[in-house]
Chain A
Amino acid sequence: METIDINKYKESWKQENQKITSQNKLSIVEIQTFIHKQSKDVSQKFRIGIVVDAVIKSTLIVSYLILITLFWGDVTLISLNAILVLVSILLILFQIKVYKQIPGIESNSGKLNDILKQKIDFFNNTYAKSIYIGALTNPLFFISGMLFYFRFKYGEVRAMDLEDYIVFGTAILISYVFALVAQLKSYQFSVKNLQTCLKELNEDTITELTIKQNRNKKLRVFAVALLFLIIGLLLLFYIMAL
């Protein structure tokens, strides 16, 4: 079988491609419109996600402050809501820190190899942590709603037994896991795409070990986040039981 010589295609490629340009030629106005549009890049979606999360957490802070006034006189509940305000503020500050790092991964003017490594590094470290932090909005929202419910239904937070703790604890955990899974799915899609490209680019240089190391790092972050959530829940129930 005769082997095709790719070099022969080079000349016709040059001539024929003029047709593609002439048939699709864009005007100055169209180009001008493009540069004023919003980017569809993943970093832009990430930026919007952080802003939305910060707005929701700010609303939660307001709701906890309202709860403090509603439970005025009850030291335990005031302390609990004050802690939740503090936690929400810390989480917002973390998200602001992440937000400031986004421009670092938006530049496309460097070498492809460096850009891919930079983006993967950002996704595996900063972005991954931000997902675990962002998902905490759901449990915070749930706790706020629960306290409002108790206040308006019974006028107080009633003493809870073991069964109540299990039900509420499970609900809070589920709300966290749901938010986490949804965000992780989108993260995995983006990072997998970049990892594949880097692997294709370097072929033998990026080893399976690097991928395994990244996977282990993600697992560690998840374990720490889960540990904090469980400690937080235990603290919450302890304070409520006082």
Chain B
Amino acid sequence: MKRQPTTDPGRASADGSQSPARLETVPDSSSSQWWRALEEGRVLVQQCLACGRSFFYPRPLCPHCHATELEWRDIAGGGTIHAATVVHQPTPIFAGDDPYPVALVDLDEGARMLLRVDEAPAGRPLIGSRVQIATVETAHGPHPRAVYAPDQIGADQQTAPEAQQP
């Protein structure tokens, strides 16, 4: 998936207010590559060349089989909501956004991400619903967001097997 960063409608500087600073990151050889790709509008996961499974967040070894031969992959963008909440009492930096939905999303590639959900119907997003992951320009820089896409047919409607590994 390669897509240009789009403007988050909820974040447009309609009131001309100053954007908060970008959130702090922890750069190292794994994370820096992910952040660089994100600046280009790409969302990466890592795939293990030994066991074939994908995982997120970035690190220098596969958390499933512990092999170190890994490959970066652009995600296709499709995912399924695994668990969901609506935040009513955010930490101070997100005060004023609330209430907003946040979900654990199982990517079709198998990795799991924690994402805000845009364009969800009122209330808690439905578990099992399809979403499309897109890079959105937020007040804190480009970040991946899930966009509700209930009509989309997923490659695999089931919970990703990787996410179930004990």
Verify that A and B bind, or say they do not. Answer: no
Which residues of A pack against B, CB within 8 Å?
none
